[in-house]
Amino acid sequence: MKVLVCGGAGYIGSHMVRCLLAHHHEPVVYDNLSTGHREAVADVPLIVGDIRDSETLRTVFDQHCFDAAIHLCAHSLVGESMNKPYEYYQNNVFGTLCLLEAMHEADVTKLVFSSTAAVFGHPLAPLIDEEHAARPINPYGASKWMVERILADAAPAYGLRSVSLRYFNAAGADPSGEIGESHHPETHLIPNILRSALGKGSALKIFGDDYPTKDGTCVRDYIHVNDLAEAHLRAIRFLDQHDGAHCFNLGSSSGFTVLEIIEAARRVTGMDISFERASRRAGDPPVLVASNVKARVQLGWRPAITNIDDIVRSAWLWHSQARY
Ligand code: UFG
């Protein structure tokens, strides 16, 4: 398959590209390099372009005959989205419309879209399945939910086949150590813990220790980035058999508190990682854990790397020798 990977130079995108190559497919990356890294996709064609640039997108579809597109381009920080909602809706919603129109003109009918657990806002159930109501509480989650709605409307109108994959907490890195998570600034927990172990970045802070959880810190469902990538491939195959718009929650079905992740990092690094207790971060729900039953049953997907130490160890391999 020839697959357009929008946002392919980013953290999840670059793992996606490796996964496609490993399965002998042909990825073409489209990325504006605002948060992505050229070094992460050195072995594949890279078109530097913005998702809101309809003209360049049209040229790309004129020049290539794609079997499917995977769309991972997005602004993705919850806190930032609260302060810059126009930028989030512009990039994440308008940008997606530009891609969808270009796909429609080129008659490319299969799309896998990166959605997020943030569509659920403050979930009411301990394990979130796809029946759970989407009630986003920040512009980032709302922008992704709006796109899911657009995809639902595009199915009957244009025959677009789509899968929205709601990622829970993407974590870890490819075991090669050649690609990994590199955000500037970094806001995510595991990279912040490991960078602090390496003496990089500012002092590690725990945002809130008074949540209604077992140790007072937030619970998240950490899912290895290569397992996420694998789910996209399965989603494309699923679209060969199914029309319409579909969504799947991608997580491991088990959660860890912030303190448990720090403990895992201590075991993996052998270092005594210190931290400060700070106030809650705006927009953080106390618990986000996915039910992955639907993805297991319908996509035949199951995460291969479920041990939290293994996930943190793969991230450590990257952070201890990060190339970009
Ligand atoms: N945290 C800290 N200290 C840090 C960084 C994070 O205590 O230095 C805490 C956060 O407050 C949160 C947990 O660690 O409780 C996880 O935070 P991350 O920033 O790593 O991840 P989030 O759960 O906030 O965000 C992830 C994705 C988002 C997605 C969201 C769904 O990165 O794109 O899950 O809620 F929207």
Q: What domains can you pick out in the chain, each with its CATH number?
A: 2-171+224-250 (3.40.50.720), 189-220+253-319 (3.90.25.10)
pLDDT digits (tens, 9 = 90+) for 244-283: 999 999 999 999 999 999 999 999 999 999 999 999 998 8
CA distance 317 to 301: 26
Q: Which residues contact 266 (CB under 8 A, 6 or more apart)?
A: 272, 273
- Evaluate whether 200 touches 252 at the Cβ level (below 8 Å): no
| Residue 272 CA to ligand 1 centre (angstroms) | 22
| Residue 163 CA to ligand 1 centre (angstroms) | 24
How many alpha carbons lie under 13 Å from residue 290 in its C-beta half-sphere? 27
CA angle 138, 275, 192 (to 5 degrees): 55
Q: How far is CA 140 from the centre of its chain?
A: 13
Question: What average pLDDT does this structure show over 142-146?
Answer: 98
- With bands split at pLDDT 50, 70 and 90, how would you rate the model's confidence at 142? very high
Q: What is the ipTM score, two decimals?
A: 0.97
Catalytic residues: 140
Q: How far is CA 56 from the centre of its chain?
A: 24
CA distance 295 to 302: 7
Pocket of ligand 1 (CB under 6 A): 76, 78, 116-118, 140, 169, 187-189, 192, 205-207, 218, 220, 258, 281, 284, 288
Element (H, E) at 220: strand 219-220
The pairing of strands 219-220 and 256-257 is antiparallel
Q: What is the pTM of this model?
A: 0.97
CA distance 231 to 216: 32
Q: Among residues of the chain, what percentage have pLDDT more than 70?
A: 100
Element (H, E) at 207: strand 205-207
- With bands split at pLDDT 50, 70 and 90, how would you rate the model's confidence at 201? confident
CA distance 239 to 152: 14
The residue nearest atom 24 of ligand 1, judged by CA position, is 284
- Evaluate whether 218 touches 254 at the Cβ level (below 8 Å): no
Say if residue 79's pLDDT is above 90: no
- For residue 155, the model assigns a pLDDT of 98
Crossing angle, helix 258-269 and helix 308-319, to 10 degrees?
A: 60
Between the alpha carbon of residue 204 and those of residues 21, 200, 251, 270, the distances in Å are 36, 10, 25, 17
CA distance 125 to 300: 24
